[in-house]
A and B are shown apart, each in its own frame.
Chain A
Amino acid sequence: MVETLRVLIVDDEPGMRLAAERTLRQFQIDFPDLEARLEFDIRQAASGEEGLEVIQSFQPQLLLLDHKLPGLSGLDVLERIVARKIELHTVMITAYASLETAIRATKLGAFDFLAKPFTPEELRMTVRKAAHHYLLQRRADELAREKRQIRFQFLSVLAHELKAPIAAVEGYLCLLKDLPAGVDPQTYAQVVDRSLLRIEGMRKLIFDLLDLTRIESGQKKRELADHDLVEIARLSLETVQPSADARGITLAFEPAGSVVMTVDRGEIEIILNNLLSNAVKYNRDGGRVTLTIAREADRVWIRVADTGIGMTPEEVSRLFGEFVRIKNEQTRKILGSGLGLSIVRRLAHLYGGEVTVASTPGEGSTFSVWLNPAGAGGAATAVEPTE
């Protein structure tokens, strides 16, 4: 894509302005690294005062500014630009390059200097450098803005997710307060059970959130050591056993042998706990959860298959978003933070791996996490926090 960069040349010598304009008029620059091509739209001004007017109307991105001008000097112009908080890249043109001028100009945000007399090639080189810097800075600004935007969305969804259980519990408490005497005791039990469930869900959300921020910030020191994933899995299975028993769900795990890998034990526990508790939660009563851990070729696989409600391809496509919970008739009584899979995926990325899912509605889902045994060294901070 060809972009046009607006350039203003401020110089009191008409010959200089003309030469500069001629040099840049037919000039195109390619920046393969930024996938950009630039050409130039050029304006001239003969004095600092005129220059400031043109800056207002033309809004140049690049300013070639002579220092020695009648009336306002180049430095005066720079000062006014700074005072008006105008953002542009300035190249100072100086006939007698005095150190003092250079220092003052740099302090006022000038990007570069060009000493008179200069050749057309020198001018092009300098403009090229300034243009590249301008593009880089703009790209960085765009990224920062996008990040802020995503952060903001995350926070507003989070606020909603925290507000919902509070509203529910508040509703139940108001109800209890106003219920007439003689209401069937089962009603009270219902109200209390549901309130406790919502509070539990909120606690889970807060814990998940702590996991997530810890992964994202990379603040927690990862304790990488050789661990047997099979042994970690046995502990995770014990954790979900009670909720599986309550619904007659069988947990199957028949490892062929130990699978040793360099990992942070806590991270693997989080992955396993999330996948296993999902497989129980979204299963049918009397169903089955099958865990497999195996080393295949140069990958370590963790697979959790359930015989639960399954998902449609459309539901699968939305699954890994933050706070996404598949809402339908079958999931309405199941509580979750909507962060679990997003956490699992981030953790898998820390091991150079990925999470995939295969699912059939009404039959079940299989979540597969693969990890690269050599990839655990990936610094936590290398994870893109905003996908």
Chain B
Amino acid sequence: MQQPKHTILVIDDDVDFIQQLQISLAAAGFAVRTAFGEQEAEQALREGRPDLVISDLMMEHMDGGFVLCHRIKQQDPTIPVILTTAVTSATGLRFDTISADERSWVKADAILAKPVRFEQIIREIRRLLPEA
């Protein structure tokens, strides 16, 4: 297998979800770093620039993912961020029913509803990192 070109930072408070993404992304040829919750995420971001971030929306704080996303974009607007969320399956709210105007304040490049299919994530990554 060739040397991975891109590093993806996976942020979630679900150990199993992190592990599953880690395995599937590694199998797809990416280098993967993981962070459990917001605090570890901030630390991981200080340690080095990932090429893409996949973050859960709700962790310790209800909107931790939004805040994190905002901060990443402030630091470096070129890092693509994918938010994953179980909000839809938990509450029935759907993000895509929110108008484009309302969505503009969410800084994420993509929002995926959990449970996420891995090929769907890979597809989004390839869209956001065309050279990957």
Contacts and interface: CB of A to CB of B under 8 A. Distances in A.
Q: Do A and B bind each other?
A: yes
Interface of A: 160, 164, 167-168, 170-172, 174-175, 178-180, 183, 187, 190-191, 194, 198, 327, 329, 332-333
B80 interface: no
25 contacts: A167-B115, A168-B14, A168-B16, A168-B17, A171-B17, A172-B16, A174-B117, A174-B118, A178-B118, A178-B119, A179-B23, A179-B27, A183-B23, A183-B27, A187-B23, A190-B23, A191-B19, A191-B23, A194-B16, A194-B19, A327-B13, A329-B36, A329-B37, A332-B13, A332-B15
B7 interface: no
B40 interface: yes
Give chain B's interface residue range (CB within 8 Å of chain A). 20 to 34
A171 B15 contact: no
Interface in B2-46: 13-17, 19-20, 23-24, 27, 36-37, 39-40
User: Which interface residue of B14, B15, B16 has the most chain A CB atoms within 10 A?
Assistant: B16
User: Which interface residue of A170, A171, A198 has the most chain B CB atoms within 10 A?
Assistant: A171
Secondary structure dominating the interface of B: helix
B90 interface: yes
Contact of B23 (A168, A175, A327, A333): A175
A312 to B, nearest CB: 14
B60 A175 contact: no
A180 B27 CA distance: 7
Contact of B40 (A160, A187, A329): A329
Contacts of B14: 164, 168
A99 to B, nearest CB: 58
B118 A175 contact: yes
Nearest to A335: B15
A171 B27 contact: no
A160 B60 CA distance: 17
A160 to B, nearest CB: 7
B23 to A, nearest CB: 6
A164 B16 CA distance: 10
Contacts of A190: 19, 23
Contacts of A198: 16
Contacts of B117: 174
B24 A170 contact: no
Interface string B82-124: 0000000010000000000000000000000011011100000
Nearest to B20: A171
Secondary structure dominating the interface of A: helix
Nearest to A165: B16
Given A179-B27, A329-B40, A332-B13, 19 more contacts: A167-B114, A168-B14, A168-B16, A171-B16, A171-B17, A171-B20, A172-B16, A174-B117, A178-B118, A183-B23, A187-B23, A190-B19, A191-B19, A194-B19, A327-B13, A327-B60, A329-B37, A332-B15, A332-B36
Given A170-B115, A171-B16, A160 B90 contact: yes
Nearest to B17: A171
Given A160-B90, A167-B115, A178 B24 contact: yes
Contacts of B24: 175, 178-179
Contacts of A170: 115
Interface string B35-67: 011011000000000000000000010000000
Contacts of B15: 332-333
Nearest to A171: B20
A318 B125 CA distance: 40
Contacts of A332: 13, 15, 36
A152 B47 CA distance: 45
B29 to A, nearest CB: 10
A101 to B, nearest CB: 54
A178 B24 CA distance: 9
B130 to A, nearest CB: 22
Contacts of A171: 16-17, 20, 115
Contacts of A180: 27
A375 B60 CA distance: 41
Nearest to A169: B16
A329 B60 CA distance: 11
A172 B13 contact: no
Contacts of B17: 168, 171
Interface string B61-75: 000000000000000
A288 B119 CA distance: 46
Nearest to A167: B115
A175 B20 contact: yes
